[in-house]
Amino acid sequence: MPLTHLAVVQASGADATAFLHSQLSNDVQGLPPQRSLLAGYCNAKGRLFTISRLWRHGDAWLLCLPADSAETLLKRLRMFVLRSKVTLTLRQDLTLFGVSGDAAATALGRAGLPAPDQDGSVATHDDTSVLCLPGTVPRYLLCLTDAVAPATWTALTEVARPADTGYWRLLEIDAGQPSVHTATAETFVPQHVNLERVDGVSFRKGCYPGQEIVARMHYLGKPSRRMYRMQTTAPPPPPGTAVQDERQREVGTVVDAQATGTDATRLLAALQVAAIDSPLLLPDGARLERLDLPYPLEAPDSAEA
């Protein structure tokens, strides 16, 4: 799958690690080599500007996120660089592919690429990064230079069937992976989109923008909203679409949605927990059916500190 809906921001320089650690919701400094993680970037009120998956590539950090949020991330981060030795750039010379399915590792091997076998692990080959990502089927994110992308695509399609970008977004929805787009920037705190349930928040690291609000919600009470996986027969609503109850009261917001190819749409929506057992509808009246997520919404009482 060509992942043209995503972009990559690079952070390089002597202070890049410390700078990202101070700005993002996760423990960048503690990330082991050859691993990736999700991290949110919040405003002072704990509302998410963006969510990125980041990993180390050589001496730099790469942050992968929806393309429509990349400029927001760059603009906001550059405001706080000040005297830090950090350079932030939009890597327009990189191509992103997705590979999924039970034979995904075999396809990568035949294309001469490594296939890391644990969720969150990263392997590199020359200038190509291969990320193993969580999901209901094996799946990999490939980040490679434009120069080698055509040959890699040709090698992969000899053993794998091409699919469109929407299929990757559907896999992300089925994996319960949150995203923030331009339409939903500064709408959600991390817990509203289950970011801490997919290891996107560290409650042991130091301060970052919005940390006090995020930590207070974690330690002093349960979130009033959570992200749920839903299904409907309506066409995919865009991110930011309101979800209503039967009285047309707004009780949530669509995070992302994609058609399944079988006259249905699956979506993620941040919904009021108190309304989840009520009939839920889109503005056009289409009903939503709740589906399971691949992870629990609440951790055991003693699991987090």
Tell me: pLDDT of 274 over 80. Answer: yes
The fraction of the chain above a pLDDT of 90, given in percent, is 92
Instruction: Identify the pLDDT of residue 262.
Output: 84
Mean pLDDT of 27-55: 97
Tell me: pLDDT of 169 over 90. Answer: yes
pTM score, whole prediction: 0.94
Instruction: Identify the pLDDT of residue 45.
Output: 97
- 18-28 pLDDT, tens digit per residue, is 999 999 999 99
Tell me: pLDDT of 305 over 70. Answer: no
The answer to whether residues 37 and 26 touch, using CB atoms and an 8 Å cutoff, is yes
The answer to whether residues 66 and 57 touch, using CB atoms and an 8 Å cutoff, is no
The answer to whether residues 240 and 254 touch, using CB atoms and an 8 Å cutoff, is yes
- Structure token pair of residue 206: 């130091």
In which residue are the tokens 């970011």 written?
A: 195
Instruction: Identify the pLDDT of residue 235.
Output: 96
- 67-106 pLDDT, tens digit per residue, is 999 999 999 999 999 889 999 999 999 999 999 999 999 9
Tell me: pLDDT of 51 over 70. Answer: yes
- 146-165 pLDDT, tens digit per residue, is 999 999 999 999 999 999 99
In which residue are the tokens 């503005």 written?
A: 283
Instruction: Identify the pLDDT of residue 279.
Output: 97
- Structure token pair of residue 35: 């691993």
